[in-house]
Chains A and B, each alone.
Chain A
């Protein structure tokens, strides 16, 4: 579905993409993960035909996105990181406008709008003004708009930004349902738990380039990482030094009440660490393996809070 080869796009010689490669097969749901400024949005914009690459190639269904931008737009549904809406339009009117903008035939136009209204749960609010909707409902509306022309590929840039937990869960459910229906997805997000739930594969990006990382088996989402542990404790400023002094232990993150440790040897070492912490007067309240994607992210990008 997506083939990206040596894609480069720089802004005033800095940031953007540098020789980035990506292949996404039809039906896949791929998460794009990287720190701010890594080039995720640049990639999305090039694939959505909003931006032109400096060099390299991006193809969707075999079509180069630059010369074939009009055909590509029929295949792609793009939801930007901060999607805009016409606040003074009614919900149904907003969708009807975009149905026209996607040149839907006049016969199927109203049906398509009613379908996405039903699917997104907006039917009851079809006559409300867009400005009256909460952020979560606006996000649903934009997703509904993105689906009007039945795209085979969805490009979602930070789709859950600003949503409350319930709205996020609902969005996850909707995206998984779309993927089950056969819609290919490329999703960029900083909410790694969402990506773990939605995506079948994760691609890491940093400074515009691919970041090598262990691939999950058979496209399964990465499981909890047994070599990275999160330890919660009563306030103990000495905990970091105690942990760091232990052989085979790397402190990935620490605060006064929590530690994230990478262990050589994995779970058999954890009992010794807890003992050492307890001996040093640290009141450990909880120990658990870190979520897989989060720990991978920390290892790859060396994140520190």
Chain B
């Protein structure tokens, strides 16, 4: 096992946030499920029969979006400070001058970030299973959405690690990582809406599906769109769109990883 991964996991679980964050995460997720469940059943009051499938689907969607939002908030905390903390406590030099390769150092940090996110996802599984038990969604939908969430989170972690390798201080790398998350989650949506409005005004009466794919590029960068199209994969509704999002995210993750390896190799200059 890569000693970096072992060290990172040991130290992370020793920190107070090692148990506080999963607790808060689970509380947040549980509260959301309760809210979604009661909202869905409340709406159905007065109807002859409450459809479990409707409640289940509503709960599942709410939990999925909430989970993604929470993870987008948490991942920069783990990843963007991962290498800057080594610079700040002056241990990066010792790592670089050991026989660990830059890719091993990066891999240790990346895997530890993802493993912690994995822990959060696993702690959230019972909540997801509750939605599953209500019906309306199948295990394939659940798996694809969880897989998509992992890809999104891994991409954000790769970006955070790159910023961490580039900047000297955690505060700067974390701020830039959150900036990148905002660009992905909000700015892409705003840009798409502007493009869509412009296209609609120049092509009146044409359905949205006719919009050229090139104009949809900002949407493929948006994590919520990626998650949304993942819900339709099992039914074959949005398989192509999902595949494009997957490729876009995989490319971003690989590009930032390669840049991060390079930065780790050269980070001795910053010490």
A binds B: yes
Interface size class of A (residues with CB under 8 A): 20 to 34
Asked if B27 is at the interface (CB within 8 A of a chain A CB), the reply is no
- Closest Cβ of chain A to B7, distance in Å, is 5
Q: Is the CB of B268 within 8 A of A49?
A: yes
Instruction: Give the secondary structure class of A's interface.
Output: loop
Asked if B20 is at the interface (CB within 8 A of a chain A CB), the reply is no
Q: Is the CB of B97 within 8 A of A48?
A: yes
Residues 84-101 (chain A) with a chain B CB within 8 angstroms: 84-89, 93, 97-98, 100-101
Q: Which residues of B contact A87 (CB under 8 A)?
A: 89
- Closest Cβ of chain A to B264, distance in Å, is 12
Q: In the complex, what residue of chain B is closest to A104 when comparing beta carbons?
A: B99
- Closest Cβ of chain A to B113, distance in Å, is 18
Mask of B1-21 contacts with A, CB within 8 angstroms, 1/0:
001101100110011000000
- Complex Cα distance A78/B91, Å? 12
A83-B90, A88-B11 known; A100+B269 contact, CB < 8 A: no
A100-B3, A101-B100 known; A51+B94 contact, CB < 8 A: no
The residue that A51 contacts in the complex, of B86, B100, B269, with Cβ under 8 A, is: B269
Q: Is the CB of A78 within 8 A of B97?
A: yes
Mask of A67-109 contacts with B, CB within 8 angstroms, 1/0:
0001001101010101111111100010001101111000000
Q: Which residues of A contact B248 (CB under 8 A)?
A: none
Instruction: Give the secondary structure class of B's interface.
Output: helix
- Closest Cβ of chain B to A98, distance in Å, is 6
Asked if B95 is at the interface (CB within 8 A of a chain A CB), the reply is yes
Of A48, A84, A145, most B-chain CB atoms within 10 Å: A84
Of B97, B100, B269, most A-chain CB atoms within 10 Å: B97
Q: Is the CB of B98 within 8 A of A98?
A: yes
- Complex Cα distance A78/B90, Å? 13
Residues of A at the B interface (CB closer than 8 Å) are: 45, 48-52, 70, 73-74, 76, 78, 80, 82-89, 93, 97-98, 100-103, 142, 145, 149
What are 29 pairs between A and B in contact, CB < 8 Å?
A45-B271, A49-B97, A50-B93, A50-B268, A50-B269, A50-B271, A51-B268, A70-B101, A73-B98, A73-B99, A74-B99, A76-B97, A78-B97, A80-B90, A80-B94, A80-B271, A83-B90, A84-B89, A84-B90, A84-B92, A84-B93, A86-B7, A86-B91, A97-B3, A97-B7, A101-B3, A101-B100, A102-B98, A145-B94
Residues of B at the A interface (CB closer than 8 Å) are: 3-4, 6-7, 10-11, 14-15, 86, 89-101, 268-269, 271
